[in-house]
Amino acid sequence: METDCMKMINKGLDDEMEVWGYCRSRWRVALVGVGTLCTGGLLLLLLYWLPEWGVKSTCRPCPLKEAQILLLRSTDEFRRWFRVRVHVLQSPGLSPFDAVDLQTSPAGGCGIHPYPDVSYTEPQAMQICYFNHHSMQYFWNDTIQNFEAINGMEDLRLSCSSLLSEYSSGLSRPQQDYRKLFFGENEIAVRVPSLFMLLIKEVLNPFYIFQLFSVILWSAEEYYYYAAAIVFMSVISIAISLYTIKKQYVMLHDMVAAHSIVRVSVCRGNKEVEEAMSTDLVPGDVIVIPSNGTIMPCDAVLISGTCIVNESMLTGESVPVTKTSLPNSDMEGKELYSSEQHKRHTLFCGTEVIQTRFYSGELVKALVVRCGFCTEKGQLVRSILYPKPTDFKLYRDAYLFLLCLVGVAGIGFIYTIVLSVMNQVPARTIIIESLDIVTITVPPALPAAMTAGIVYAQRRLKRVGIFCISPQRINVCGQLNLICFDKTGTLTEDGLDLWAVHRAENGRFAQLEQDPGTDCEMDSPFLACMAACHSLTKINGELSGDPLDLKMFKATGWLLEEATEEETSLHNPIMPTVVKPPKRPKVNESEVTATPDHSMELYELPDTHELGIVHQFPFSSALQRMSVVARWLGGKRFEAYLKGAPEVVAGLCKTSTVPENFTEVLEDYTRHGFRVIALAHRQLESKLTWHKVQNLNREHIESNMDFLGLIIMQNKLKPETADVLEDLRRANIRTVMVTGDNMLTAISVARDCGMIGPQERVIVVDAQPPSGGHAAEILWHYTDSSSALTSKDNSIQFVEIESDGGPSNGRLRGQYHFAMSGKSLAVTLEHFPDLVPKLVLRGTVFARMAPDQKTQLVEILQSVDYYVGMCGDGANDCGALKRAHGGISLSELEASVASPFTSTTPNISCVPNLIREGRAALVTSFCVFKFMALYSIIQYVSVILLYSILSNLGDFQFLFIDVVIILIIAFTMSLNPAWKELVAQRPPSSLISVPLLFSVLTQIMVCLSFQALAFIWVQHQSWYEKWTPLSNACNATRTGLSIDPNITHPTDHKNIRNYENTTLFYISSFQYLAVAIVYSKGKPFRQPSHKNWPLVLSCISLYIFLFLIMLYPVSAIDNFLEIVCVPYEWRITMVIIIVVNAVVSFILEQSNDRWGTRFFAWLFCQNRKTPKTRYSQLAQELQDDLDWPPRPQTCTYGKAPHLSLNL
């Protein structure tokens, strides 16, 4: 609920936030200052880590309009808090689009009204509150009483025709300066923080503050060596972290800054063009696109001319795209301009304009619509600079586990204080030793040790050509259980091969033709359509464009010629792109005769087979078609040629020209996996001139066409696809196809690659929106080897299917898949939301999906608790790649920088590699976490036992344990490579699970028991006495061993040297090694530990060293480690304790691995079998639902989603 003090900004967007207003309170600030002094700065640190506490403790709530400080909270699952300061802008107007000091609108075609010079220091200047957050500015809007982001021209919600009429002349200099107050510099500025700022931010991390506290405490205890070791490791860790962060900032800065600032030509409204820097551009400026191309410094919509653009930076697809000017016709001109809807007319920031269509006397112009971080490229960079946190149960559980350790430390803290007070220990010693328990229980090296496994996995991934920009995602990839794949370029080859053409004549299909270039007549409309209906262009003399267009055009054998700049500048008429058959003599210029009636008409050439393309309607994924207007050179009438999705094209043609068996033929091709393109043609009215053609809308052109036939393209599976999908299936990982291609083609490819089994049926979900007073409905069509028909209205109709030996009631048990189009998904989401989880549970094929629908599908799958991976080639997949738990791009182009993973191997074999390494890294994290937890508890037990006799471990004992044993083992046990194949079992994702907790608790009990046993046992030995420098227990029982008594040592004030200390030091040292070996798991997720030679070598070396100094003591080492000589018989006894301890630990862990899960499932969940994940719960519910899946040829209506009626 919004109030004066709390509002919502960015409603409905990814970065939606709640915002509260606060004003500073002097008495609260003073109170916090006193608290900071009393706590030695600890309160200030706490308020730094918790910004919401910081704001609430120093400020009072107030209405947003009066706020000095704002508190922001994201509305996503992370609920992150941000603190921002409110600034004030002095401006003559309240909005950048206000006509300040003028009575007229911005300069348009009706005349230019230059702004007077604006003085921003005059009294009438208004004050506008604004704040910056994540590189975006939010300004106060009095109308809505809230802050809002100002993005650009789209905020005006103008139609295309209004944009052209009101803003095509550009802005005057004063207008530009005024708007610049709001929009600032047109620059995507990635500020590289100074090393000092990065250092401060890193050092203020709670982990390093805790380390600083530990070092101060150890120094007070005179544990200088161990404190120095921790300081050294921390300095190295901070240095590496700073280097990595700085390097990432520099790389991003260099990538963005490479072409961010260029010189541009700006139109000033009175046909004056001036040179300016791109940083001065604001929305509303009109710039001239140079004929030799440029890098776009902003988002701009073409208002005149045509451009060939390389958009690989945004789409990941390096195919040049043709951009045409914004339409101004009746229908399209009335549409509200949207950069997404009109992207075929919009030049996006960072994309490269390769060349422009040069027209004599007319400049190619574009209207700036967005600048800076508001552009598409700016949004991409923002997603990298400010990524969402990784939400993974492991990390949440790790914090809970640490809290448990803190609780254990609290018990030790109280125990130490009570014991010390009872023994009348000095207050200073009580404080130091009680706090020391905390530093022992929560190991400072834990984060570094857990990160090691991820770093090693990242290096291994790099060796197989997979690069990672978000290392924390590697662990998440170990839990992936569903992978979405794009089809073209991912599962199948990038290129298409022309298999055949199937022409239609007189309403009937002719015979198949393999080579249209030779089999078709030269003047055939079908061949002309293949040659002319495309968006190809020549770049540096080479044909370039969409691969499908290239294959289609090359199959004709025709040639394409484009007018050069010199040829165009010689004449007023526009020189078209010409396509013509090969080996035709070039027309002599003397034969050219101009039409006297129309000075802007095409040249009329002698009758020859040359076709001039005069206007183009580019391919639209929403319309699923493209068309061109052309004229035979020498001809009198214009011709329209159309190509696109067969069901769409057939619907635009005269019924009499579409063969009666069109749907059967089309279904037969698509069912066999061919990609089918339909062609159509018609002659335009003879009265049309070139000018009229340019202003015609495409609805007029693309209607009442004559159906020409079909082009059948073959899209082969990549060799690795089927095997990889089979590996994923065996690993119990679902695979889903998400494509923009035809439904039946996608189903066929899904069958070919093994996503859908040969005996499994597909249920096509055909959802229709409400129309004609009827409610929305879903038609359920079953398809397998039976006949499936695609009708002209783009819906799919199926004949009744026999059950083929299936259940008599028509139910399918685990043998069906849903397939649906993007349109059906949108209708289902709006009118049947309760059916969506059921559909995605069995949804395998999603066809005709727009880029934003791919992202939406990933979110839906995540909402039912799937861990979703996404693999695509970067073209239209960027949003889904970013949103998935593990997105892997097969494109190395700039667009893939937003994807967590990028593969240099252009096939899906990278997916199982990533999952295997993710599983290995995840298991490694569990192993290291359990090992570090046991290490802290083992050391905690040792210290607690020694505290009972007012003793402790020595400085060098701590140093030996923490550095020589723990760090070496923790970093080498992370080196196990991933297992060579995927298994059906997935590693656990939670630390708070009964088997895992049982594993930790049993090992704690074993270690506690054996330490307590040794501690008590040594005190009951016959030779035991309170140790003094004159003690000689060794010689008292074994005369053959000559050890000099340490009579030169001064009195040990800390009581380090004693028999209990020595015993516990040896026992605990071997316990660390035993626990490390027990927790170093191998199969089925990692290679066996014996193949990890650094770990094996480390363990063997440590075992040899410890056994050597225990059985054959060396005086120098004993003195260094502050251990005392004990009888040889006790050493043998300790060996027995150590061996039995290791055996018990090993047996318990193996038993827990083998039977623990089943035992605890039986013990705790015998009467409660409800699965934890939502998709498993749903699957269980549907097993008992007799009406699911819906029966063949039934319909579900919107008003009664669960009611199914026979048609």
Give the tens place of pLDDT for each residue, 21-36: 999 999 999 999 999 8
DSSP, residue by residue, 705-747:
BEEEEEEEEE-PBPTTHHHHHHHHHHTT-EEEEE-SS-HHHHH
Is the separation of the CB atoms in 347 and 300 below 8 Å? Answer: yes
DSSP, residue by residue, 1019-1079:
HTSTT-----TT--HHHHH-TTS-----TTS---TT---SHHHHHHHHHHHHHHHHHHHHH
pLDDT at 86: 92
pLDDT at 309: 85
pLDDT at 85 over 90: yes
Q: Band of the pLDDT at 1050, cuts 50, 70, 90?
A: very low
pLDDT at 432: 80
**pLDDT tens, 769-822?**
887 777 888 888 887 543 333 333 333 333 333 333 333 334 444 578 999 988
pLDDT at 114 over 80: no
pLDDT at 518: 77
Kind and range of the H or E element at 757? none
Question: Which phi and psi (to 5°) does residue 1035 adopt?
Answer: -70, -20
pLDDT at 393: 66
pLDDT at 590: 42
pLDDT at 674 over 90: no
pLDDT at 1105 over 90: yes
Q: Which residue has the higher pLDDT, 229 or 1078?
A: 1078
Which of 148-157, 341-350, 1068-1077, 1164-1173 is most confident?
1068-1077
Question: Which phi and psi (to 5°) does residue 1049 adopt?
Answer: -75, 140
Q: Could you identify the residue written with the tokens 């706490």?
A: 46
Rounded CA separation 952/416 (Å): 12
Q: Band of the pLDDT at 367, cuts 50, 70, 90?
A: very high
486 is a catalytic site residue: yes
Count the Cβ atoms, other than its own, within 10 Å of residue 589.
9
**pLDDT tens, 715-739?**
788 888 889 999 999 999 999 999 8
pLDDT at 194 over 80: yes
- List beta partners, residue 79: none
Strand order in the sheet with 761-768: 466-468, 901-903, 886-889, 868-872, 482-485, 734-738, 843-847, 816-821, 761-768, 777-783, 1194-1197, 1200-1206
Share of the chain above pLDDT 90, in %: 16
pLDDT at 418: 85
Both tokens of residue 401? 């586990």
Q: Which residue has the higher pLDDT, 718 or 744?
A: 718
Is the separation of the CB atoms in 101 and 95 below 8 Å? Answer: no
Which of 164-173, 368-377, 463-472, 596-605 is most confident?
368-377
DSSP, residue by residue, 180-195:
HHHH--S--------H
pLDDT at 1165: 58
Q: Band of the pLDDT at 570, cuts 50, 70, 90?
A: very low
pLDDT at 398: 73
Name which of 838-842, 870-874, 1061-1065, 1126-1130 the model is least confident about. Answer: 870-874
Query: What one-letter code names the amino acid at 153?
Result: M
pLDDT at 399 over 60: yes
How is residue 301 annotated by DSSP? E
Rounded CA separation 885/866 (Å): 9
Rounded CA separation 338/1150 (Å): 62
Rounded CA separation 695/877 (Å): 34
How is residue 158 annotated by DSSP? -
Distance of CA 140 to the CA centre of its chain: 32
Name which of 297-311, 322-336, 671-685 the model is least confident about. Answer: 322-336
- Give the ranges where 497-564 is alpha helix by DSSP (H): 516-519, 525-532, 547-556
Mean pLDDT score across all residues of the chain = 80
pLDDT at 1051: 45
Rounded CA separation 283/265 (Å): 15
Model's pTM, two decimal places? 0.75
Burial class (CB in 10 A: 0-12, 13-18, 19+), 149: middle
pLDDT at 891 over 90: no
Is the separation of the CB atoms in 832 and 778 below 8 Å? Answer: yes
Q: Band of the pLDDT at 1102, cuts 50, 70, 90?
A: very high
Q: Which residue has the higher pLDDT, 233 or 823?
A: 823
pLDDT at 42 over 70: yes
Is the separation of the CB atoms in 869 and 910 below 8 Å? Answer: no
Sign of CA dihedral 802, 807, 810, 815: negative
Q: Which of 486, 549, 766, 873 is catalytic?
A: 486
Name which of 443-457, 843-857, 936-950, 1005-1019 the model is least confident about. Answer: 443-457
Is the separation of the CB atoms in 6 and 20 below 8 Å? Answer: yes
Residue 533 DSSP SS3? coil
Q: How many helices (H) and strands (E) does the chain have?
A: 40, 44
If we measure between CA atoms, which residue out of 994, 989, 911 comes closest to residue 1173?
989
> Strand 542-544 vs strand 537-539: parallel, antiparallel, or unpaired?
antiparallel
If we measure between CA atoms, which residue out of 617, 608, 603 comes closest to residue 572?
603
Residue 616 DSSP SS3? strand
Backbone dihedral region for residue 93 (phi beyond 0: left; psi -120 to 50: alpha; all else: beta)? beta
Mean pLDDT of 899-912: 87
Mean pLDDT of 578-606: 50
Mean pLDDT of 936-950: 89
Q: Band of the pLDDT at 103, cuts 50, 70, 90?
A: very low
Query: What one-letter code names the amino acid at 735?
Result: T
pLDDT at 160 over 80: yes
Sign of CA dihedral 734, 739, 742, 746: negative
- Give the ranges where 130-223 is alpha helix by DSSP (H): 160-167, 173-183, 195-203, 206-220
- 613: which residues sit within 8 A by CB, 6+ positions away? 532, 576, 577, 578, 579, 628, 629, 630
Burial 770-800 (b: 16+ CB within 10 A, else e): eeeeeebbbbbbbbbeeebbbebebbbbbee
Mean pLDDT of 574-583: 75
How is residue 284 annotated by DSSP? T
Residue 495 DSSP SS3? coil
Rounded CA separation 927/933 (Å): 10
Rounded CA separation 1123/573 (Å): 100
Q: Which residue has the higher pLDDT, 237 or 845?
A: 845
Rounded CA separation 336/338 (Å): 6
Residue 505 DSSP SS3? strand
